[in-house]
Structures are given as structure tokens and as C-alpha cells.
Amino acid sequence: MKIFFDTNVYVAEALLGEAAEEILAATERASWRIFISTNVLDEIERVLTEQLECTPRFAALNRRRIVRRANLAEPGKSKHSVPGDGKDTPVLCAALEAGVDFLVTNDRHLLALDPYEGLRIVSMATYYQMLMTDGFISPSP
């Protein structure tokens, strides 16, 4: 199984922990391949420093941690686009380029496309539930 996580998953992991951390750890335990793009890495750093006022060091450390566990997928020229929010197009294109099974995001413009050319686009909550159903995450007591 191949998974592409959008920016909001990594930002949630960096700031909130718990469910987002569980999702990423369970994906690794399942030996599923995780993909990321330079565009998403840049956006994570930008969101952490500019919008959430984290230190540049914190953002850079998060970037390095993500790069260690993910495969890089860079989108080429593509006919694909995300209606309503062109800034999401590079995310969609990178996921398609990587040939992933799931794009995990909480972005409503991307979620509205599910399914897209064989790619399932699911929310963090749906992906979390899928991991629980498959036995990779244990239900909370």
C-alpha cells in the first residue's frame, strides 16, 4: 500500500500529536510506503513558521523527520487540476505521480474529488478508522 499525506496531517502531528502521530506510526508498522513532495515539505515549513509562529528550527527539524520516513514524489506537467483551489493541484499531481493508493487530507477541495482516477482521497478520520479496522491501531479504552 502506498500513502501520500497532505500538509495538514504533518502539521497536526507536529502540534497536536496523538491521532496524527498514531496514523503515521501505524502506517509505518504496516510497512506501507509513505510519499511526500517538495511542495508539501515547503508548505509545512511555511505553515509552521508563518501561520503558527513556530521557530524556523522546529520547522526544519520536522522537515528532516518527514524526509527520513518518506519517499519523494515530484509531479511533472499534468492535465490534472483541483477545482476551487489551484494551490492543491501540486498535491494531487504528486500523489498521482507516486501512484499511491490513498491521499490523506482534510482539505475539502481535495476530498470532493474522491475517488479520482483510481486514487482514494480520504480524511484523516476515515484513514484512522481504516487503520483501526485493519488492526493497525487499537481502539482507545
Flag whether 139 is in a domain.
no
Flag whether 97 is in a domain.
yes
Flag whether 140 is in a domain.
no
**CATH no. for residue 62?**
3.40.50.1010
pTM above 0.75, yes or no: yes
109-134 pLDDT, tens digit per residue, is 999 999 999 999 999 999 999 999 99
Range of the domain at 85: 2-133
Flag whether 141 is in a domain.
no
The pLDDT of residue 11 is: 87
Question: 47-51, 80-84, 106-110: lowest mean pLDDT where?
Answer: 80-84
Q: How many residues does the chain have?
A: 141
How many domains, in total, are found in the chain? 1
Flag whether 15 is in a domain.
yes
Q: What is the mean pLDDT of residues 89-96?
A: 94
Which sign does the torsion angle of CA 22, 24, 28, 33 carry?
positive
Whether cis (ω within 30° of 0) applies to the bond prior to 115 is: yes
1-52 pLDDT, tens digit per residue, is 999 999 988 888 877 767 888 898 899 999 999 999 999 999 999 999 999 8
Flag whether 41 is in a domain.
yes
